[in-house]
A and B are shown apart, each in its own frame.
Chain A
Amino acid sequence: MDFTPHTPDDVRAMLEALGMQELRELFADLPDAILEPELNLPAPLSEQEVLEHVSELAAKNAPAGKAFLGGGQRPHFIPSIIPALVQRGEFLTAYTPYQPEVSQGVLQAVFEYQTMIAELTALDASNASLYDGAAALAEGVLLALRQTRRMGVVVSQGVHPEYRQVLATYLHAVGAELRTVNLQDGLTPEMEFGDEIGAVVLQSPNFLGAIENPAPWIEAAHAARALVVYVADPLSLALLKPPGRWGADIAVGDGQPLGNPMNFGGPQFGYIAVREKLVRQLPGRLVSQTHDVDGRRGYVLALAAREQHIRRAKAKSNITTNAQLTALMGAMHLATLGPDGFAEVAKASVARAHALAAELIRLPGVELVTPEPFFNEFALRLPRPVQSVRALLAERGLHAAAPVSQEYGENIALFAATERHGDSDLHELVQAMGEVLS
């Protein structure tokens, strides 16, 4: 099955229009030495066969819809209207909205998304989305370095380790210096910054789940005329004081908790929001309201002169394709929950996580590593190696105890709970943990 509509007669007629007899003639400009390699691929399948095959592969996975695993990805409930609406072919099969007259659907949806992200973060402007939280962090830091014309970056160890790894890759490429400040008792210590530092990065709730007091870092950063990049789980912003209110200049994060399935880690979307003075430094697409020749309101891609297709080697970033459809799912999620529903989901998630932590720390040898207050994820030190605990739980059909990198200490596991976990789910995990650890 190859989805081409050409009948043998069509092919003959079209070749004839070109004065050709054979399809091979279409490739006459390729060197003979490399022409028509034998590709060793499995035999073609029909739709029915491929779905059967893929279903068999899917059956080799244990779905984690009730996972207690954290790390910025969690099972949250996704209202039914989201998959239904986002699968509309007009959204699904459009390219980037280069022709605004026939792309008002995507453009307006992005404009509304930008508004929602600005509201969540209490900052002035959001772009149309980036690949994921890690790329958003890297782009946020590069933005800060462009603006400050400095090459030093300080990042708290409280930032997701995979995000920091991505940041290190990006910064090495441009020759910037990255310094990591270790957590003390699970929190980012206060410190001062030198005048070579252009960007200061912290995450709250941090990777271990603790809610940081970002005020001292932000004050110290601004005293050094550095910009603050604040990593925030968007769900936490339903309840917690937003980055803009703390004084951060740039907020970034991963949109998975907003209406996106975990998908084994992707795709979801990254968000970035900034203060007004940084708008022209933003990477990626931006949508602006405007009007048409008849005076009707409409939307266009704006400030394109920042972007690679115009600015080429001097572009703010090389990004083109971002994560529009998954960001749209985030916007739909916020739209249908509204401010109250969004807060209720966050509240349920917090309540379940705290209830779970209270039960688990009663188990012998289990110790809470995350200082209070924490949000909906927390870290425990376990009396046994974490990988084996996770494996033993998996044998019981439970997904919990995500192994935390050694840099945070020995035998530390990350847990999370969300509105999808009822009392019986919590109970089941606590009981299984008791058995596994005994």
Chain B
Amino acid sequence: MNVPADRKYTRSHEWAKQEGDLIVVGISDFAQESLGDVVFVEVPEAGREVEAGEAVAVIESVKTASDVYAPVSGKVVEANEALADEPELVNGDPYGAGWLFKIEPSDPAEFEALLGAEDYLKVIEEES
């Protein structure tokens, strides 16, 4: 299972990566694998204020719909518009072109408290 060490994770299978002042958010390889073919992604509007743990995006496959939770609090500054036409990017490149949205964090400590790659691997092991 691909779990890059260059970013943080949540128990609900989001990843979060520092990029300058922003936090980029997506879902893990494990999450996309268990969802199956992604058919639609509902991303949050830019400008929306979100709380850590709040459901802010929805990923749909044919038979399921899963909420994506904000890993950190802050303001959504950008969403991945490419997913509107190519939701399959979430399957093909979950850690790259399949990113979901970017947050301007309001509390840097929240990011630091997220899971590291090793701890996240343990979460996956528990679930599978």
Contacts and interface: CB of A to CB of B under 8 A. Distances in A.
Interface of A: 280, 303-306, 310-311, 314
A310 B40 CA distance: 15
Nearest to B55: A314
Contact of B64 (A303, A306, A310, A314): A310
Taking each of B40, B61, B65, B67, which has the highest tally of chain A beta carbons within 10 Å of its own beta carbon?
Answer: B65
A258 B67 CA distance: 41
Contacts of B61: 305
Contacts of B42: 280
11 contacts: A303-B60, A304-B62, A305-B40, A305-B60, A305-B61, A305-B62, A305-B64, A305-B65, A306-B65, A310-B65, A314-B65
Nearest to B39: A305
Contact of B63 (A304, A306, A314): A304
Interface residues of B, number: 10
A280 B62 contact: no
B115 to A, nearest CB: 26
B40 A280 contact: yes
Contacts of A314: 65, 67
The 7 closest A-B pairs by CB, nearest first: A305-B65, A305-B60, A311-B65, A310-B65, A310-B64, A310-B63, A305-B64
A280 B60 CA distance: 11
A310 B64 CA distance: 6
Interface of B: 39-40, 42, 60-65, 67
Nearest to B42: A280
Given A310-B64, A310-B65, A311-B65, 16 more contacts: A280-B40, A280-B42, A303-B40, A303-B60, A304-B62, A304-B63, A305-B39, A305-B40, A305-B60, A305-B61, A305-B63, A305-B64, A305-B65, A310-B63, A314-B65, A314-B67
A313 to B, nearest CB: 11
Contacts of A305: 39-40, 60-65
A280 B43 CA distance: 13
Contacts of B64: 305, 310
A168 to B, nearest CB: 30
Nearest to B61: A305
Contacts of B65: 305-306, 310-311, 314
Contacts of B63: 304-305, 310
B79 to A, nearest CB: 16
B44 to A, nearest CB: 12
Nearest to A307: B65
A142 B24 CA distance: 33
Contacts of A280: 40, 42
A280 B41 CA distance: 11
A25 to B, nearest CB: 39
